[in-house]
């Protein structure tokens, strides 16, 4: 109960830090995007645009103002929740609407992939630790190496060929948004989630296996055995629980990469997610949209970081 | 926090995770959305290889996928048939009154999708709007030669040009020209921005719903003058990767695709569940080079590089045989294309290439950068050209990968040596030669200017007699092969994939799409 009565100053400091990082990140994306080559007018007006048309376009979107003014305009809008409208990717659609409709799909696939990876790794890690050195361990470890080394786009196509076109179990393309049908989303999102999950599952499995094996030979486990407790009891209470701390830490580290990791898979399976949106926006030089997507990613990662740190602290009070 | 509490939470987490992973299989799923099994009479037409559609106002559209959809919602005065002959669309007939005046008799009783009547006034409004600088229409140059548009009566319109202008008829077709006829009343009532999202034309399909970057839904317009469509609804998912378009059709998630990956055509042709339509396309692919500065400003260097790579190898390795090598800018599928003349500077010949390099101010070891962008095959095209040139000439041409916007912006600013480049969907030779190598052509990012070329192109624009016009462009092509303002490479085939039950789709070489939806039947 002592943890509840904590001093609020660190939390406030932390929150302040997050806001500062979000601001710096937004500023960085803003100036880097504009420092590069390329022109939104080219995307929107085509290569035949006259200089007058380009000038009119720049004026319309406020691109003719000095950079610092443009940044201030963006920032003051963003602070009130107004992210402006899409310039070149979805002409005239409010950016908040676009991001709002896309984010749930990406979060869904990310969490779905995480769930799959956790289930696979719990089973595979436990089995290979308990049977370590035997055939089943070699198979699981081999698969884990394979999982880590396979690029996600390649695995995506392998899954499509095997489970969609071959076995005909899953759709080969397309995604039903969870907002439309939750079960449909689980069904149509399975292959993409599995493609995202595979390398994570492999990493988690290896982590869990190592942690479990290490714990199996600790003194307290030997003592428990000598006292005559059953194997299952020892495993659950003395081995597994101790191995859980490094395991959760590794999961936490991976969550941070999840959102970015879905970009390629979103494109292959046609999932209208925020990663694919950001790629389109970057190619089209839809500055405001890139900005909003990047900020969304940034805020998600900051929140996840915060949650993971809190969770780890809760699991292992000694660390704090 | 107690140990007990943690224990409980962990189990809960495990239960939830396991539940989530299996829920998809345990529950009966209700399918909806763009990828559900469609209701009878729904065509699922995947736009593959693209997922950005920014605007659907014909006067403002620039991207090929935008036109894929516009073709089906609009009509122009004229269109092309399967033999690429000009045939009536909204115009019933046309007459050449004199070398600068065209008269169009318009179809009677045509309705726009909002129920209003189509008349000569809409034609005048549409074309004047494209020509108006304030509209900032990407296709403005195509109608800039027009001096006036006269309405003789509600169904007769005369278009007068400042001088004879041969491409005009081609520019008034339902292609990438932006001259698709819009409704003056709807546009004025809705305003430009709203019209760009939900435009109103006379075509067989109405744009009903549009999820940016996801899909477009079309619904049949029973009152279309071309007849009520046979399918009631069309869903066009925007499929970013061409290879995903292929897996989508193989897995029966779509009925038709707009494109297919070159590498897979061979294997797709052997599969019974999909039909491959293909033909030589109206497109051109070349290496754009900077004629103003750097090694490519030297004509001998350009010729040496041009002779140092084998175009047939490009066709085999880049297109997997799905195309033809070309010695100029014009695609062989274009009516005006002469029998290609393979001048010596566009023919692979390592010895002559080295001899030519010796005449140039640049030697073996010369460094240059070749910009590549886009999908894999563009990159492979750059790799082969640079690799072969370096091998034959000892040059040090290196690749730099980027995206199209960056590459093209750099090219326009003159900040480049060379880049892979190409265009598709053009229907008039002036769109290729005039715009790519004419000194005032807006696709001339090569800083190439030749009085001789400009004179030829001017003659091509004003020569009304097609036979004489063809001869002019043949000469211009020979000049391209001499001067090499760009290094010509190849034209690619165009492809559509169809499920066997899709009937009535006619493929046209300019990469058409929704214009055929009105006649499609699902067997």
Mean per-residue pLDDT, A304-317: 75
Q: What is the rounded distance in angstroms from the CA atom of residue B485 to the CA atom of residue B505? A: 38
B472 dihedral zone (left: phi>0; alpha: psi -120 to 50; beta): alpha
Q: Examine the pLDDT at B174 and tell me if it is beyond 60.
A: yes
Q: What is the rounded distance in angstroms from the CA atom of residue B140 to the CA atom of residue B126? A: 12
Residue B48 forms part of a structural domain: yes
Examine the fold and report which residue of B152, B186, B220 is the final residue of a domain before the chain moves on: B186
> Scanning the structure block, which residue is given the tokens 């080394």?
A149
What's the burial of B206, exposed, middle or buried (CB within 10 Å: 0-12/13-18/19+)? Answer: buried
Average pLDDT, chain A: 85
Confidence band for B20, pLDDT divided at 50, 70 and 90: very low
**Domain co-membership, B146 together with B168:** yes
Nearest residue, CB atoms, A38 vs list B17, B247, B409: B409
Average pLDDT, chain B: 90
Range with lowest mean pLDDT among A130-139, B197-206, B443-452: A130-139
Nearest residue, CB atoms, A272 vs list B214, B243, B250: B214
Q: Which whole-number Å values give the CA distances from A137 to A199, A247, B109, B202, in the listed order?
A: 18, 18, 77, 67
**Domain co-membership, B268 together with B320:** no
Sign, CA dihedral B405-B409-B412-B416, equals negative
What's chain A's Rg over C-alpha atoms?
24
pLDDT of residue B224: 95
Task: Specify the fold of A97-319.
Answer: MetI-like fold (1.10.3720)
pLDDT tens-place string over residues A76-96: 888 888 888 888 888 788 999
Q: Examine the pLDDT at A18 and tell me if it is beyond 90.
A: no
Range with lowest mean pLDDT among A113-127, A223-237, B47-61: A223-237
Coil, strand or helix: which one is B293?
A: coil
Coil, strand or helix: which one is B487?
A: strand
Domain limits, chain A: 97-319
Confidence band for A319, pLDDT divided at 50, 70 and 90: low
What residues form DSSP beta bridges with B280?
A: B493
**Domain co-membership, B264 together with B294:** no
Residue B192 forms part of a structural domain: no
Nearest Cα neighbor of A48 from B46, B210, B455, B133 is B133
**Buried/exposed B362-388: b ≥16 CB within 10 Å, e otherwise:** beeebebebbbbbeebbbbbbbbbbeb
**Domain co-membership, B317 together with B240:** no
Does the interface predicted TM-score (ipTM) exceed 0.85? Answer: no
For position B172, which CATH number holds?
A: 3.90.76.10
**Domain co-membership, B349 together with B396:** yes
Residue B105 forms part of a structural domain: yes
Q: Which whole-number Å values give the CA distances from A72 to A23, A63, A296, B156, in the listed order?
A: 12, 12, 19, 54
For position B265, which CATH number holds?
A: 3.40.190.10
**Domain co-membership, B503 together with B489:** no
Phi, psi dihedral angles at B127 (to 5 degrees): -70, -40
pLDDT of residue B260: 95
Q: Tokens in use for A1?
A: 């109960």
Residue B197 forms part of a structural domain: no
A39 vs chain B: nearest CA distance in angstroms?
7
Q: What is the rounded distance in angstroms from the CA atom of residue B255 to the CA atom of residue B248? A: 9
**Domain co-membership, B127 together with B221:** no
Phi, psi dihedral angles at B181 (to 5 degrees): -80, 125
Nearest residue, CB atoms, A165 vs list B17, B136, B250: B250
> What residues in B contact A177, CB-CB < 8 Å?
33
Q: What is the rounded distance in angstroms from the CA atom of residue A173 to the CA atom of residue B29? A: 17
pLDDT of residue A317: 62
Residue B338 forms part of a structural domain: yes
**Domain co-membership, B179 together with B217:** no
Q: What is the rounded distance in angstroms from the CA atom of residue B289 to the CA atom of residue B370? A: 9
Asked if B18's CB is within 8 angstroms of A184's CB, the reply is no
**Domain co-membership, B162 together with B207:** no
A271 vs chain B: nearest CA distance in angstroms?
8
pLDDT tens-place string over residues B276-286: 999 999 999 99
pLDDT tens-place string over residues B54-83: 899 999 998 899 999 999 999 999 999 988
pTM, two decimals, is 0.86
**Domain co-membership, B87 together with B216:** no
**Domain co-membership, B438 together with B330:** yes
Q: What secondary structure does DSSP assign to B66-107, as a single string?
A: HHHHHHHH---SEEE-TT--EEESSEEEEEEEETTEEEEEEP
Residue B23 forms part of a structural domain: no
**Domain co-membership, B179 together with B255:** no
User: Number of structural domains, chain B?
Assistant: 3
Asked if B405's CB is within 8 angstroms of A285's CB, the reply is yes
Structural domain including B404 reads 281-493
Q: What is the rounded distance in angstroms from the CA atom of residue A56 to the CA atom of residue A50? A: 10
Give A 175-194 residues with CB within 8 A of chain B.
175-177, 180-181, 183-184, 186-190
């Amino acid at each position: 109960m002592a943890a509840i009565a904590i001093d609020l100053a660190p939390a406030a400091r932390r929150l302040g830090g997050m806001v500062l990082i979000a601001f710096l990140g937004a500023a960085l994306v803003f100036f880097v995007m504009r420092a590069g080559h390329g022109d939104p007018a080219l995307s929107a007006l085509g290569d035949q645009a006259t200089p007058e048309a380009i000038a009119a376009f720049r004026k319309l979107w406020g691109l003719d103002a000095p950079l610092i003014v443009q940044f201030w305009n963006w920032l003051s809008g963003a602070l009130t929740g107004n992210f402006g409208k899409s310039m070149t990717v979805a002409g005239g659609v409010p950016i908040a609407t676009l991001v709002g409709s896309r984010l749930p799909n990406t979060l869904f696939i990310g969490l779905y992939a995480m769930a799959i990876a956790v289930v696979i790794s719990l089973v595979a890690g436990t089995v290979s630790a308990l049977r370590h050195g035997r055939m089943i361990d070699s198979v699981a470890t081999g698969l884990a190496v394979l999982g880590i080394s396979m690029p996600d786009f390649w695995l995506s196509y392998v899954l499509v060929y095997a489970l969609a076109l071959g076995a005909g179990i899953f759709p080969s393309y397309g995604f039903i948004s969870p907002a439309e049908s939750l079960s449909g989303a689980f069904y149509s999102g399975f292959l993409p989630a599995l493609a995202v999950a595979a390398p994570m599952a492999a990493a988690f499995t290896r982590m869990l296996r190592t942690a479990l094996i290490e714990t199996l030979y600790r003194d307290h486990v030997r003592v428990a055995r000598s006292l005559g407790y059953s194997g299952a009891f020892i495993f659950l209470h003395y081995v597994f629980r101790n191995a859980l701390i490094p395991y959760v830490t590794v999961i936490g580290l991976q969550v941070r990469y999840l959102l970015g990791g879905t970009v390629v898979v979103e494109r292959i399976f046609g999932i209208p997610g925020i990663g694919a949106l950001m790629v389109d926006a970057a190619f089209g030089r839809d500055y405001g949209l890139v900005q909003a997507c990047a900020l969304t990613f940034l805020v998600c990662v900051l929140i996840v970081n915060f949650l993971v740190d809190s969770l780890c602290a809760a699991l292992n009070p000694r660390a704090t | 926090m107690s140990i007990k509490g943690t224990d409980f939470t962990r189990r809960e987490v495990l239960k939830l995770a396991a539940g989530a992973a299996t829920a998809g299989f345990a529950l009966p799923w209700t399918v909806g959305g763009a990828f559900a099994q469609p209701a009878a009479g729904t065509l699922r037409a995947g736009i593959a290889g693209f997922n950005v559609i920014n605007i659907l106002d014909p006067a403002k559209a620039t991207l090929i996928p935008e036109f894929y959809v516009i073709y089906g919602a609009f009509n122009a005065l004229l269109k092309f048939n399967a033999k690429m002959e000009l045939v009536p669309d909204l115009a019933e007939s046309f007459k050449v009154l004199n070398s600068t005046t065209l008269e169009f008799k318009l179809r009677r009783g045509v309705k726009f999708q909002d129920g209003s009547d189509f008349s000569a006034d809409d034609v005048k409004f549409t074309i004047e709007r494209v020509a108006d600088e304030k509209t900032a229409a990407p296709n403005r140059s195509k109608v800039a030669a027009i001096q006036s548009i006269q309405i003789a009566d509600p169904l007769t319109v005369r278009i007068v040009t400042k001088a004879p202008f041969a491409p005009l008829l081609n520019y008034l077709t339902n292609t990438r020209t932006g001259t698709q006829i819009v409704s003056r009343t709807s546009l004025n009532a809705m305003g430009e921005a709203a019209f760009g999202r939900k435009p109103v034309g006379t075509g067989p399909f109405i744009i009903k719903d549009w999820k940016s970057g996801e899909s477009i839904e079309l619904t049949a317009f029973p009152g279309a003058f071309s007849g009520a469509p046979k399918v009631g609804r069309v869903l066009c998912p925007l499929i970013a990767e061409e290879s995903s378009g292929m897996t989508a059709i193989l897995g029966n998630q779509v009925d038709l695709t707009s494109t297919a990956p070159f590498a897979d055509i061979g294997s797709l042709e052997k599969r019974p569940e999909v039909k491959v339509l293909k033909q030589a396309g109206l497109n051109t692919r070349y290496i754009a080079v900077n004629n103003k500065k750097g090694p490519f400003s030297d004509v001998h260097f350009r010729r040496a590089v041009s002779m140092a790579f084998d175009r047939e190898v490009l066709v085999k390795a880049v297109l997997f045989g799905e195309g033809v090598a070309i010695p100029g800018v014009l695609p062989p599928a274009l009516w005006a294309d002469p029998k290609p003349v393979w001048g010596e500077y566009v023919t692979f010949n390592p010895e002559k290439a080295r001899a030519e390099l010796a005449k140039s101010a640049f030697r073996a070891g010369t460094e240059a950068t070749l910009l590549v962008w886009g999908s894999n095959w563009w990159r492979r095209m750059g790799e082969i050209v640079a690799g072969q040139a370096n091998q034959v000439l000892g040059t040090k041409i290196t690749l730099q990968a980027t995206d199209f916007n960056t590459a093209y912006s750099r090219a326009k600013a003159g900040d480049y040596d060379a880049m892979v480049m190409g265009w598709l969907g053009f229907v008039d030779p002036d769109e290729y030669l005039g715009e790519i190598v004419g000194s005032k052509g807006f696709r001339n990012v090569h800083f190439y200017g030749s009085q001789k070329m400009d004179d030829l192109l001017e003659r091509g624009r004003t020569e009304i007699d097609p036979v004489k016009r063809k001869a002019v462009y043949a000469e211009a092509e020979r000049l391209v092969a001499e001067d090499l303002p760009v290094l010509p490479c190849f034209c690619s085939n165009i492809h559509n994939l169809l499920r066997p039950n899709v009937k009535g789709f006619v493929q046209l070489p300019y990469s058409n799409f929704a214009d055929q939806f009105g006649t499609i039947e699902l067997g």
